[in-house]
Chain A
Amino acid sequence: MQPPLPPLTCQLCDKPAEVGYSAELCSVCRTKLAKRPFPIWIKFAVILVALAFVYALAKTPASLVASIAFERGQRAEAAGNFGLAAAEYAKAVEQFPQSISAVARLGIMQYRAGDRDAAIQTLRPLAGRQASKELMTEINAVIAEMQQNRDSAQYKATGITSSTRGSSNDILDRFLAENAPSATPLNSSTQTTARSVKPGTVVADDVGGTKINIPPPTGFFRFDGKSNRVDAQLKSGLASTNRLLAAFASDSDLALAMKDEIPELQRWLFAQALIKSGYFTGTSWMRLKSSTRRDLQTDMEKLNSSELWAKIQSGVASISKDLGLEYGGANVVPLEVFDEDENSLCYAVLLKSQFRATDLDKPVTVIQYETAAMVYVRQRVIYLYSCAVFENKSDADWARTSLQRWRNEVVAANQ
């Protein structure tokens, strides 16, 4: 009979080793070696790689969406569906506005889809930048087409024959510099009217090269364009940079306008756009919205002492004089942003105006509760306003809710 074998001991601590493993180690030492600590520099390296991983994970969805959109744009372009191609390329440009190829394809597709002004706006940032010979030749060919299709007196840039980088850029620069202002667009896929158009909807022409549908607010009627006198009054309240798209008031105010009398305008709404309104990508719209929200208070306070405001005041004073009133000036008190969504930013201001009638001793102070909405539709920005002469809280509530409702209708009418 053989003597029993001595129990195996751990190679590290002499305690009994675990049976069934190739290395003679006790449970504690086995776990300790399995959980061997990572050196500090390795932990540091892991943190760096982990940061890159997290950053990449966060950036991947947007990059993928842009890449897919670009691919779809190319397919749509190949199939001759230029409107769809432009829409897809626009998504890619949102993510990669610095991409010459994406911006160029977007501009070219906008032109092919008939939106010439949008094409100019899009191609403008390419001026002075270097691109492949092939791409520059293509852009120049498009520009040549644009020139041939336009009045030759207005568009002087000619001789797009060179395919070298430097001279191509010169031509592009010159062309874009000469064509930056908005012009009447050709047919565009972005100008289709909405499927269900509310009766009385105004189609505003050439807002940054496209058409915008403006349905009338419920219970209100368009009153601009009915009387030169009323139109002059409306114009006096506009900044020189803006243009009125449509103004809506009650039925009785409409009747007054039709009688060539000044409406009371206790409650009314109107839409404006910048005269030189441009094309906005989703990113540039978000930037505009964010800066407006941030600077609202200071911008409004600055407005009171601005030259622009002085010009408006002068216009109002002149109109007031015709009405037998002495205008004592007005100032704006900014209130707050009261609503915001993907396509709009709504804010409120109080407007205090003073008038003195010739037959009254004391001046009359009028407080208007004005709400404004910056609205992003069809890649353009328009401004909606809802105003009420303030007598009590219900006027403020009306101005806010009516603006929100109208904003929703305008957005829906342009989808």
Chain B
Amino acid sequence: MIIPGFIIALATFPGVIVHEMAHQLFCRWFRVPVFDVCYFRLGNPAGYVIHENPQKASHQIWIGVGPFLVNTILGAVVAFPGAIPVLKFDAGRPLDFFLIWLGISIAMHAFPSTGDAKSIWRGVSSRDVPLLGKVIAVPVVALIYLGAIGSFFWLDALYGVAVALALPSLITLAFA
């Protein structure tokens, strides 16, 4: 099913904002100048951060991967206490559904855009990254790259739903 991107972005706008903020935060931590930021818009892309090419490859990787980590963790935590009563106990209140929506919105924007993925790939393939670092980073970056491309096939939405709704069940099973 093809739904216009701006509708998806509008329905999940908190995730777009968190994603761009995460890029900007990592730029701030690594002292990389940010020339322009758009936290949200009804266009393609829905948000962006234009920054200087970092001096170090590791910084470039972190700035690219940052939103993946931030959005995944934030989405998982926010959705957790909403997902349990709704899915497990059939006792969801409006607040629980709100948390689930927020969690999915945030988590489904965890995947970097294709632009981010290219930037990460440049960082990993740089001569600055040692061989061991490349061995570890390449599969991760490949997965992220796949996610970035796969958003066309709803992979990002599936990821968001999995993080927000499937993860609580998996954690429960692991501890029970």
Contacts and interface: CB of A to CB of B under 8 A. Distances in A.
B157 interface: no
A102 B32 CA distance: 52
Interface string B88-124: 1111000000010010001000000000000000000
Interface residues of B, number: 40
Contact of B89 (A23, A46, A66): A66
A59 interface: yes
The dominant DSSP class at the A interface is helix
Given A49-B18, A96-B85, A99-B91, A31 B31 contact: yes
Interface string B19-44: 00100100110111111010100000
A33 interface: yes
B91 A71 contact: no
B87 to A, nearest CB: 9
B91 A38 contact: no
B32 A34 contact: yes
Interface stretch (A50-58, A249-257, A336-344, A402-410): A50-58
B77 interface: yes
A64 B37 contact: no
Contact of B21 (A22, A46, A53, A56): A46
Interface string A6-39: 0000000000000011110100011101111011
Nearest to A75: B176
B17 interface: yes
B85 A71 contact: no
Contacts of A244: none
B34 A92 contact: no
A25 B74 contact: no
A60 B77 contact: yes
A310 interface: no
B173 interface: yes
Nearest to A36: B34
Given A45-B17, A56-B81, A68 B52 contact: no
Contacts of B148: none
B85 A99 contact: yes
Nearest to B103: A56
Given A42-B21, A71-B172, A98-B91, A52 B102 contact: yes
Nearest to A70: B88
Interface in B28-76: 28, 30-35, 37, 39, 52-53, 55, 74
A64 B74 contact: no
A23 B33 CA distance: 9
Contacts, number: 109
Nearest to B85: A96
A34 B27 contact: yes
B166 interface: no
A243 interface: no
A72 interface: yes
Given A34-B33, A64-B172, A100 B52 contact: no
A381 B146 CA distance: 59
B77 A30 contact: no
Contacts of B85: 63, 96, 99
A12 to B, nearest CB: 10
Given A42-B21, A96-B89, A101-B90, A68 B176 contact: yes
Contacts of B53: 22
B81 A100 contact: no
A126 to B, nearest CB: 13
A117 B99 CA distance: 38
Interface in A229-255: none
Nearest to A46: B21
A66 B84 contact: yes
B21 to A, nearest CB: 7
A58 to B, nearest CB: 8
A56 B172 contact: no
A71 B173 CA distance: 7
23 contacts: A23-B35, A30-B31, A33-B35, A34-B28, A34-B31, A34-B32, A34-B33, A36-B34, A36-B37, A38-B24, A49-B78, A60-B80, A63-B85, A64-B168, A64-B171, A66-B89, A67-B88, A68-B176, A71-B172, A72-B176, A99-B89, A100-B91, A101-B89
Given A31-B31, A53-B74, 7 more contacts: A33-B35, A42-B39, A60-B77, A60-B80, A68-B175, A96-B85, A100-B90
